[in-house]
Structure 1
Amino acid sequence: MSGKDFLDVVTERGFVHQVTDAEGLKAALKAGPVPGYIGFDATADSLHVGHLVQIMLLRWLAATGNRPVVLMGGGTTKIGDPSGRDETRQILSEEGIEANKRSIARAFQGFLRFGEGPGTAVMLDNAEWLDQLRYIPFLREVGRHFSVNRMLSMDSVRLRLERDQPLSFIEFNYMLLQSYDFAELHRRHGVVLQMGGSDQWGNIVMGADLARRMHGASVFGLTAPLITTASGAKMGKTAGGAVWLNADRLSAYDYWQYWRNAEDADVGRFLALFTDLPMDEVRRLGALAGAEVNEAKKVLATEACALLHGREAATEAAETARLAFEQGTAAETLPGITHALPAPLVDLLVAAGLCASKGEARRLVAQNGVRLDDAPVTDAATVVEGPAKLSAGRKRHVLVRAG
Structure 2
Amino acid sequence: MMNFFEELEWRGLVKDVAHKEEFLKRLNKPITLYCGFDPTAESLHIGHLQQLILLKRFQLNGHHPIALVGGGTGMIGDPRPTTERKMLSAEDLMHNVQCIGSQIDAILASDDNPVTLVNNYDWLKSMNIIDFLRDYGKFFSVSTMIAKDTIAKRLETGISFTEFSYTILQAVDYLHLLENYDVRLQFGGSDQWGNLVSGLELIRKVKGIEEEAFAMTSPLITKSDGTKFGKSEGQNVWLNADYTSPYEFYQYLINVSDDDVINFMKRLSLKPVSEIQEIEAAFVKAPHERLAQKELATELTRIVHGQEGLDNALKMTKAFFSGDLSELSAQQVKALFHHQTPYTLDKDSALLDVLVNAQFVPSKREARQLITSNAIRVNGEVVNDLEYVLSKEQAIDGEISVIRRGKKTYHVVIHG
1:75–1:253 distance in 2 versus 1, CA, 3 Å: same
2:210 aligned with 1:214, yes or no? Answer: no
1:34–1:181 distance in 2 versus 1, CA, 3 Å: same
- TM-score for the superposition, normalised by structure 1: 0.82
Residue in structure 2 matched with residue 203 of structure 1 by the alignment: 195
Identity %: 35
**Cα distance in 2, alignment partners of residues 194 and 283 from structure 1:** 30
1:176 to 168, 177, 182: 168
**What SS class does the counterpart of residue 310 from structure 1 fall into?**
helix
2:342 aligned with 1:329, yes or no? Answer: no
For 2:41, give the aligned amino acid.
Answer: A
* Distance apart, 1:402 and its partner CA: 3.4
Residue in structure 1 matched with residue 348 of structure 2 by the alignment: none
Residue in structure 1 matched with residue 344 of structure 2 by the alignment: 341
**Cα distance in 1, alignment partners of residues 264 and 355 from structure 2:** 39
1:388 to 388, 402, 408: 402
1:348–1:196 distance in 2 versus 1, CA, 3 Å: farther
Q: Which range is displaced more, 292-301 or 121-130?
A: 292-301
Kept after mapping to 2: 8 A contact 1:114/1:122? no
Q: Give structure 2 stretches of 5+ with no counterpart.
A: 346-353, 361-375, 382-389, 392-399
Q: What pairs up with 1:274-289 in 2 under 5 angstroms?
A: 274-287=268-281, 288-289=283-284
Residue in structure 2 matched with residue 81 of structure 1 by the alignment: 78
Residue in structure 1 matched with residue 20 of structure 2 by the alignment: 22
**Cα distance in 1, alignment partners of residues 150 and 24 from structure 2:** 29
Number of matched pairs:
363
Kept after mapping to 2: 8 A contact 1:38/1:196? yes
Q: What pairs up with 1:250-269 in 2 under 5 angstroms?
A: 250-269=244-263
1:251–1:344 distance in 2 versus 1, CA, 3 Å: farther
Kept after mapping to 2: 8 A contact 1:110/1:310? no
**Cα distance in 2, alignment partners of residues 167 and 390 from structure 1:** 53
* Distance apart, 1:297 and its partner CA: 1.1
Q: What pairs up with 1:4-403 in 2 under 5 angstroms?
A: 5-30=3-28, 32-82=29-79, 84-113=80-109, 117=112, 119-161=113-155, 164-216=156-208, 217-287=211-281, 288-289=283-284, 290-325=286-321, 327-330=322-325, 332=328, 333-334=332-333, 335=335, 336-337=337-338, 339-341=342-344, 387-388=401-402, 401-403=414-416
For 1:98, give the aligned amino acid.
Answer: M
**Cα distance in 2, alignment partners of residues 59 and 245 from structure 1:** 16
For residues 79-125 of structure 1, the C-alpha deviation after alignment (integer angstroms, 9 at most, x for no partner) is: 0000x43110011110010111111122223321267x5x3210001
For 2:52, give the aligned amino acid.
Answer: I
Query: CA-atom RMSD, angstroms?
Result: 3.0
**Cα distance in 2, alignment partners of residues 99 and 76 from structure 1:** 15
**What SS class does the counterpart of residue 44 from structure 1 fall into?**
coil
1:389–1:110 distance in 2 versus 1, CA, 3 Å: farther
For 1:176, give the aligned amino acid.
Answer: I
Larger Rg: 2
Residue in structure 1 matched with residue 372 of structure 2 by the alignment: none
**What SS class does the counterpart of residue 187 from structure 2 fall into?**
strand
1:71–1:402 distance in 2 versus 1, CA, 3 Å: same
Kept after mapping to 1: 8 A contact 2:67/2:116? yes
Kept after mapping to 1: 8 A contact 2:81/2:153? no
**Cα distance in 1, alignment partners of residues 359 and 18 from structure 2:** 53
Q: Give structure 1 stretches of 5+ with no counterpart.
A: 350-370, 376-383
